[in-house]
Structure 1
Amino acid sequence: LVIEVMGRYAGYTALVPAMAGASDRCVIPEYEFDIERLTELLVKDRRDNESNYSVVLISEGAMFEGADMIFSNQETDAYGHKKLGGIGDMVSAEIVKRAPKYNKGETIHTINQRMSYMTRSGQPDAIDSIVPMAYGNLAMDLIMQGNSGRMVCLKNGRYDHVPFEVVTEYEKKIDVERFYDIERYRPHYHNCMGMPQFIMTSD
């Protein structure tokens, strides 16, 4: 199963669910991937799974080794960004082509799902409900105080607010060396001592 998710320049939407166990592998924009290696890993994952399937999450901005981003068309949005889409289709096709090499010559069929905004449409859990409630009330408090130009946030595990400039002063991307296993195309699962609850949310 190949699932394409949002993520133009940063792979959090692929890496965090993978860390939570939603997939066997994930590929992210911050690191170009080798399709041959990915295919080999997924075939092994499928073989090791008694249900006989494996899953890879692919950020829409992920790139094949030595290639560029895949765009669905040449149209641009209000910020001049071309619309991404199609990397999942290409990965699926390449896996079908290469899988027999690692599966005793037998073909493996793939299912490709482009999740896009569907990933935001699931039933909310307690955190999904509590955090926006707190954000909304904190924002109203700031408005009532005449305090503008601020963004509500969670900082060091506590509700806070920061200047808008924090959002635009740099691109927040995954620290590959710290959080991503480039040999196994999955999150690192070590060095969690002292990290915040959701691991990659401390910066």
Structure 2
Amino acid sequence: VGIPKTMDNDVPGTDYCIGFSTCITRTIQLTNSLRTSAGSHERFMVLEVFGRYAGFTAMLPTMAGAANRCVIPEHKFNIERLTELLSADRKRNPSHYSTVLVSEGAMFEGGEMVFEKEAADAFGHKKLGGIGDLVSEELTHISPKYNNGKKIEVINQKLGYLVRCGDPDAIDSIVPMAYGNLALDLILGKIHGRLVVLKNGRYDNMPIDTVTSTKKVVNIKEHYSTERLRPHYASFEMRPLFIMTSEMG
């Protein structure tokens, strides 16, 4: 019997994985806290967040207003376009700053994932990291083109483990309790090979091989504007709590 737990919220079959809400809450809080520095220095702010294959942890905070733009693993982005957008955002902002959230798995147009280390973990995954640094360098380099020849400096911060430490938020206090009880009920009922899930606002379970039968990523066509490099949504009516996390791309 399995319980879905990952901040990236990319386990297929469930709308929700333990840790996701706290990650989103922390990201919004930390981004808002850094605004004063970005505004006082009138800079771009680049924040690298978790998200190896799925960009939910960058999408939701951006949708909530924490950032102007986000770049995610599901779409290889054009750095020139990102610089243009952030420069325009900064110009419109009375405090003269703009913010982009960068998923650790995000890739430049024509590029591949950036790894911090070549060594792989027990699951064969190399440690991602460094895309935020590269984005920051390129933004500074290209910015004069969109700022009357003047370079725009960057505040570059990797949020990393700051978003996965401390106490869980309300949702991450309630859901794990429910998941644990659901899993125990299945075990006591001698029912195996199941994954406890939260689907369409209700607790349930499904075959555990759902986890490996497909991938759960951001549906670009439905939820991400590749032109504006930010979440896209036409209507919230009858949508699930976290909007785009109930679909498998």
Q: If the TM-score is normalised by the length of the shorter chain, which range does it land in? A: over 0.9
SS in 2 for 1:151: strand
State which of 167, 170, 173 in structure 2 corresponds to 1:126: 170
Q: Counterparts in 2 of 1:28-39, with a 5 A limit?
A: 28-39=72-83
State which of 42, 47, 50 in structure 1 corresponds to 2:94: 50
**Code of the aligned partner of 2:211:** V
Partner of 1:87: 131
Partner of 2:116: 72
* Cα deviation, residue 121, structure 1: 2.5
Q: Which has the higher contact order (CA 8 A, sep 6+)?
A: 2
* Cα deviation, residue 193, structure 1: 2.7
Return the TM-score normalized by structure 2: 0.77
Count of residues in Structure 1 that have an aligned counterpart in Structure 2: 203
Contact 1:142 / 1:148 at 8 angstroms: preserved in 2? yes
Structure-2 change in CA distance of 1:78 and 1:124 (3 Å): closer
Unpaired stretches in structure 1, ≥5 consecutive residues: none
Partners of 1:201 and 1:98 lie apart in 2 by 34
Partner of 2:244: 200
Contact 1:195 / 1:202 at 8 angstroms: preserved in 2? no
Matched, 1:22 2:66: yes
Partner of 2:192: 148
SS in 1 for 2:81: helix
Return the TM-score normalized by structure 1: 0.93
* Cα deviation, residue 72, structure 1: 1.2
Unpaired stretches in structure 2, ≥5 consecutive residues: 1-44
SS in 2 for 1:107: coil
Matched, 1:108 2:152: yes
Greater Cα shift, 42-51 or 21-30: 42-51
Partners of 2:228 and 2:167 lie apart in 1 by 31
Partners of 1:19 and 1:41 lie apart in 2 by 16
Partners of 1:19 and 1:87 lie apart in 2 by 21
Structure-2 change in CA distance of 1:12 and 1:101 (3 Å): same
Residues 159-196 of structure 1: per-residue CA shift (max 9 Å, x gap): 11112111111111111111000000000031333221
**Code of the aligned partner of 2:228:** R
| C-alpha RMSD over aligned residues | 1.5
SS in 2 for 1:47: helix
* Cα deviation, residue 55, structure 1: 1.0
* Cα deviation, residue 86, structure 1: 0.5
Partner of 1:176: 220
Contact 1:7 / 1:60 at 8 angstroms: preserved in 2? yes
Structure-2 change in CA distance of 1:122 and 1:180 (3 Å): farther
* Cα deviation, residue 122, structure 1: 5.5
**Code of the aligned partner of 2:49:** V
**Code of the aligned partner of 1:114:** K
